Every structure is written in C-alpha cells, then in structure tokens.
Structure 1
C-alpha cells in the first residue's frame, strides 16, 4: 500500500489552466455567436438589396411615365425616322400584285404601244396605250405621259410570258368621271357634249370622257342625226347610273335654261358656225341663230365671205325668237354707229354694241309711244298730248306735270 501510495504520490498532475478553460469555453461559445452574427449580416444584406431593387423599380417607373407622357404629347420629338421615310422604305420592297391593287409608279420609257413604268417591284410594269386615258388617243404623249411622269396606277392584269404587271390609268379616270357627272347632275349644270355617233333612237355624245345617250325627243332642234355629228351641244343630265352604265342627257332642258336669257333687243356674244348665200349661222350659247345677209349692215353686202368667216366672234342683237321652232333672228345692222361700219370697221361695232343697242331700244320705245299717241288723237276725252320726247303729257292739272311714259303703262282691261 505504501509503495502504491508512494507511486500515486509520485505522479504529477498538471494544474488546471484557466486559460485553457477560457479557450475551451470560447471554443464552445464561438459557433453560436458566429452563427448569430452571420444571420445579422445576412439580414442586413437582404435589406440593402431590397432597398436597391425598390429604387431601381421607382426609377424605371419614372422613366416609363416620362416616356408615356412624351409619346402622348410629342410622339415625333427627337425621332429622326419620319413617316415619309417609312413609306419610302416600304416602296423599296415588293408589293401586292393582285387585280385592283393601286400602286404609285414613274414612267421611264414610252413607245408607240404604251409606256414602261417603274413601280419598285421585282418585275416590270407596262401601261398599254388603250389604258393610258379615258379618251381615245394615238400616243401616250397626248395624255401628258412622258418619262418622269408619276401617278397612281391600278393593276389590271399580268403578262404570263415575262411575269410583267399590266397597269391602267383609264379605270381610275373612269370612276372619277362618273363621280364628276353625279356632282354636275346634283348642281343642275349645263355642260357641252360632242356628238360622236347616232342610232335610230338618238345620238351619243361624249361628256367628261363618258358616252351619254341623247334621245331624239330630248334634242331641241329638228336637225337630223347626220347634221348633229361632230357638233357640240349644250346638255343637262337626266340620269347618271354607274352600276347600270346609264348616262342619259337632254339638250332640250339645257336650251330651255339658256333661252330665258334671249330677250328681244338684247346683245349677246356669238361665234360664226357656217356661211350660206342668204346669211350666217351664229352659235349664241348653244343656240343657233340666223344673221340674214340683209341684217349684216346698212350698206349692201354682195358677198358674205368678204365680211364674215367661220370662227369669227361678234356681238349680235336678238331681233326675234321662235321658241317652238327653235329659230332666232339676229342683227349686226342695228349695232352700227354709222351705216357700213360692219363692213369697214367691225371692231368698232363690237366695242359700241351695248351703247348702240340702248339707243335702238330708246328709239323703239319712242316709236311705240308715238303710235299710241296717234290712236289717242281719235279719243279727245283722254285729255293727253304728246311732247317732243315722245311722252304723253297732261292737258289737265289732275295729271303729273312730267307726263306719262307709255312704255310703262299697262293696256286697259277689256270690259
């Protein structure tokens, strides 16, 4: 036992070090502390990230609102690419070549049969001469089509041989002509139409490039169809129906309006249409009047050709007007300042026409007053006398001192 105790006593145990305990304790506590700090740092980082995202969202929202307001108030501000640039860019690409499609093009070459048109397509386009105008032409240049001419065309077909597109201007002009005729009918306008053909029922005239029919019952004069060919007639629209291709015209309605202006003694402007040995036919606003050779001048006219020529423009006076027969008698003789002026100085007659017509009407009025006065001479009870001016004056104080102008006195009523 002693030896055993001696053995235990001989053993030396190292003293417990507080430092090691503290280190041990630190080793035990540190994981908890470190883990807690990591959570705190993680939470702090998350908050910082959330705030940054919020600021970014606010900034994006402000940018969006600013862009929206700019698009609403000034959409093209600061934009270098305009709408014109957009359309120009589109023209560089191919187009839809379906029938009826409208396309802009520029003529770059013409020939006897039509014109070649650049339409910015992969295939070429051709405008045949018969499709170049609503009117009949022999060359496209008659319709104003030259290289550099630019317009809107419509696709009417395709040439299978070379895949070229066939264009037309005529179909566009055709629709515009019908629209124009509808407007003229609504406005009740008088137009001019050239007679181009005839049949048993009437004649056909060109109006706004369209062929319209004039029944014989709607022609004012008794002229035959052959006499009307190539002549221009004043016309009014009776029916305009594009769907049925019906265009009915009336010369009689147009003449009825123009004739209201043909008062006896009035001066009108006319154009010499044709010459005959007995006189000249004058067109006065669509009405043909006869200027008889005896009414050209106070001096004798031996040969009418020496005084007038077809196409001459002159002023004439209306002498008479037979509405039922459509006959108008004219005179330049009454407009001469001096006898023979129509032969020697027709320009003077033209310039003095209205003045001489007024003088002529005054003379007629005085002559009528004198004729009425002669009748009153056989009626002493009237108490009237004629003064030097052709005005009936009073013999009693009951009548006006200036007398009465018989030109404005209405005839007495029949008892």
Structure 2
C-alpha cells in the first residue's frame, strides 16, 4: 500500500509545495483603476463586503456607493447582487481592497455629458444652490455651474433654487473638473427658432452701456449696437434711450451658437437721423423699411453690385435721407452767387440776395439729412462682443 503511494507520487511528479506555488503564480493581481465584477457578500451599516475573487473580501464604504448622496447601503446594494466595481486603493495591512461604484458612475457621466455637448443638446436641471458667482445644478449626477452672466431672468438668484431650467453646455472639461452651462443660451436658441433676420419686433430697453443698449424681446436680450442706432453720429446710447423705453427694432443677425441676437433701428430710419429727432416716424414706417432691408438681402444673394442694389432700392423705396417721392432741390453754391452779384444791377442784386438766402437754407437742410445708402449689418468688434457676453444678462436684470 505504501509502495503504491510512493509510486503514485513519482508518476505525478507534483508536491503540495508545487501546488501552492502554482496557485500564487496564477493568482489575480488587482490594481487600483481596474474595473472588476463582484458579488455582494455582506451589507453593513456604513458599507458592504464584496467578493471579487481576492484572498480577502473587498470593502466599499457608503460614500463610494453612488455619485449621489446615499443614506443607507441598502439603497444601492443587496446581498448576493452581482455588479461591476472600481478598485479604488491597493490592499491595506489586512490585505483588503477598497472598491467604488461612484468612480464608475463618474466616468460614465463625463462620457455622457461630452456626448450631449457634441450633439449641442439642451438639458434641463433643477437649481440646488446659488452663490455670489451663479447657480449650481446637477447634470447626469455631476455638479454643474451656471455663471451669473448666463442666468437669463429678472428674479434674484436665490429665488431660482428648486426651479427647473433649460441649459446649454459652455464647457465640459473632466481633467479640470469643470462643467459650465448657460441658461441664457438655451433661452436665446429657443427664442431664435421663432425669429427671422429682417423681422421687426417690439422690445424694451433693459440696460445701456457705452457700446450699445440691451433690448428685452420676449424674455431674451438682444444688443442694439451704437453703430446700429442711427445713420447720424451718436456719442453715447444714453443720449438717445432711457431704461424701459419701448422700441421697434429689426433683427439683423441671429447667432445661435453664441446665443446672440443683433438688432438695429438704423435700418428702419426713413430719413437719416430720424431716431434722434422723429422716433415715431421710424416706428410708423418700420415695416416698410424692414421690407427694404429684406429686399437688399435678396439682391445680395443674387450677386448684384452695391451700386446696382442701391439704385434698385432707391427706385422702389426711395433713397434714405429723402422721403419717397420728394424731389431733390438744386443746390447753388454761395460762391457762385456772390461772384454773379458783382455784375448785376441794384434790382437784380436784391433778387439775387433773396436767392442766396434760399440756397443757404436748402444747403443747411441737406447737411442735416445727408443722402446715405443702407449699410450692411456689422457685428461689434471682438472686444465689444466679449464685453457684451459679460454684461448681457446683468443688463437684462437691471
């Protein structure tokens, strides 16, 4: 019997020591950052033990069970449940690994918001807190920040808590842990879907800056740049408008990507400078002048030269600076009249003097209302648009 056992061992050529060494050789090596399957072995008051195939059951503390706040482990894990776990730390002195579910949810949440940003999606979220700089929300479990300049509401920020807001992504940066969103851009985009370039809308002045006025049009702000207020020169918008003034303005540009609406009253002037001295005439003829602007856009798409476009517009609508149908009055230079006076009789001199007075008066009127063609809508400089982005919402809250 003994000899048979000896023979058997010789045939196998494998000892208990060899078997133990083989187990060590093929034992799993768990490293922090690995994602492994595990079975919930035991649920405890502040954590749970997980069997992941290691020599010792791994442990997951309650704060690592979810990206959201968890009061009791039973809200997330049940005994004998199988799921994936993230290895958070290496073995401690007892040979036990620490696990996390929160890290897996965290990584997948960033992946999801990057996808939403790429799709330029609009998301909704409730405000759970505010601070001096803005408001805090949660997107896919991640904490997001809405800067005060991108909150488009007249309410105090504190009143936004628990309100559900539509939002667009401004910045998604996992490395810097920055998730920045815009309420203003979401509202502007939604409003833009019902607006068109060349459309006349009614708005009210909500803010005045050196570079222009911010006009509230149905809950969103558009910029009426100083260069688009009138054909005549303006030193500052505050010399033309007061807060809460109600205006008719025309939309000259819609930038959905940047969340901006550019407005103009200059393009609505039937006579250059009318916004400064006869605002009501501008509003009365706003629809007609907007039609002129739209027609100009049509001619531009046809590739017509500027001179040809101006000629067609003046023929159809009348030139800017002259009322439609008004005949141009001949201008006689005063120098010519004075030279002729030296060769006329006393009676003719009196007549000529009257002509000089009349000519001078006509020249003054012409200088006050110069004939100008409608210029193309232009955007503010990059410096001005940067200032607009910083100020647009604070202006609308004023």
Q: TM-score, normalised by structure 1?
A: 0.40
Q: Which has the larger radius of gyration?
A: 1
Structure with greater contact order relative to length (CA < 8 Å, sep ≥ 6)? 2
